[in-house]
Amino acid sequence: MTALLETRSVTQRFAGLVANGDVSISVDRGEIVGLIGPNGAGKSTLFNLIAGVFPPSEGAIWFDGADVTRLPAAERCRRGIGRTFQVVKSFETMTVVDNVIVGALVRATHMRDARRKAHEVLEFTGLAARAGVPASDLVPAEKRRLEVARALATSPKLLLLDEVLTGLTPAEARTGVELVRRVRDTGVTVLMVEHVMEIVMPLVDRAIVLDLGKVLVEGKPSDVVRNPKVITAYLGDRHAVGA
């Protein structure tokens, strides 16, 4: 099966800093893949490279069978890469539904179609009852869902979720996990960044661990959490000795 997303020996430098070094990963259609790693591991940089915020210093990014390395973010979105942001970027003075319409207009040619799509997505994400309120009125968990809703309104093939479960209460996190599963059930592939391994590991089909800008290990979650290299990266060498 051809991968939906591939990064091929991707390196990103910022002046003298190598944020990502020779990163090659793939995400197959229909997967939920977790991209994890300690702070400063290069996860956000890799997300930005995939989304098209800037091109890599070296290497290539392929999506849906095409080289998109030099395409801007807007064109990648039109081709089917949707994303959320680690720092919520809602339009605070606009209503919830109007925030989602912004995403729907990527594909809709008429406002009525964009509005219809927005309401469908709000129903799917559990925000239908909040459609008419300003985004500023939402609580943090609702704002995370609004980010997901706006991205889903673009009709993505691949959804990049950047810490959408971080900072939530246990009940809110469970709701978020179920939403991610339902997104995958609609046929959307998911690549997600999360810090809390207890949340992400039961959810994902496969985990990719970054450390110091490089791929440390990847595989099934049950194997990754027992890997001494992963334990060292997260907890320190003394924990790895007894692993």
**pTM listed for this prediction:** 0.92
Q: Look up the CATH number of domain 1-80+157-171+185-243.
A: 3.40.50.300
pLDDT of residue 242: 42
- Which residue did the predictor score with more confidence, 232 or 218? 218
Residue 200: predicted pLDDT: 86
Q: What percent of the chain has pLDDT over 90?
A: 77
pLDDT the model gives residue 225: 85
Confidence of residue 237 (pLDDT cuts 50, 70, 90): low
Residue listed under structure tokens 């991209």: 35
d(CA 12, CA 59): 9
For 29-39, b/e burial (b = at least 16 CB within 10 A) is eebbbbbbbbe
Confidence at 240, pLDDT banded by 50, 70, 90: very low
- Map out the domains of the chain as residue ranges: 1-80+157-171+185-243, 88-155
Query: Which has the minimum average pLDDT: 108-117, 190-199, 228-237?
Result: 228-237
